[in-house]
Structure 1
Amino acid sequence: MTEQGARALAGDGHDPDPGERARAIRDAVLALPEVARLSAGALGEVATYLPGDRVPGIRFTPDGTQVHVVLTAAGAEAIPAAAGTIARAAGPGPVHVHIEDVETSRIGKDA
């Protein structure tokens, strides 16, 4: 993660732009072994929209940050723990984790 991204997540008093914060959250969440990928929702509507770009799976609302994910099979074994880990990675402030799906292609198989 870049220094700028780390500052965006640290809540160190500076006010990052939404794109910087969304990208930092994306990078932190995707680094977790419980997360297979971010989800933009059934219709692709969950995203942070930026000029000429978008960050799927991350949305800022007045109630906090929404993080929409697809879990790995390992993450699905303990969904509450995985959601807590994701929320801490996306921190600080209110984070609402939405588990959209579980990647089942590896369940029951030696990966």
Structure 2
Amino acid sequence: MKKRSFLKLLKKKGWLYEYRFYYAAFHAARALLAIKGLDSSKHSAVISLFNREFVKPGLISKESAKTLAMAFAERSEADYDDFKEFDEEETKRIKQDIENFMEEAKKYLSKQ
């Protein structure tokens, strides 16, 4: 399947945006970790480090931790479940949650 038709399929099924939303949050979490000289290529390790370094000490809200974990779970489900589809309402909710996460990460980064 050509790349263009694959992207069209992702968009049609409602998956394209969830992938982009998750990766935006994932890379924001990695940027925060980079401030502390930390990183991992494993997604689960990034989430664990993020929680340990930012959420547990109260630097970032628990809500943001939930958003990152939820986005990871949704992305994983979309990767491994042949029939996962996201409806419009679910996409809007995920988008709003990720925007809130990104705003909180941006505020923290701007203080550094």
TM-score (norm. length: structure 1)? 0.31
**RCO higher in 1 or 2 (8 Å CA, sep ≥ 6)?**
2
By percentage of residues, which structure has more helix? Answer: 2
| Larger-gyration structure (1/2) | 2
By percentage of residues, which structure has more strand? Answer: 1
TM-score (norm. length: structure 2)? 0.30
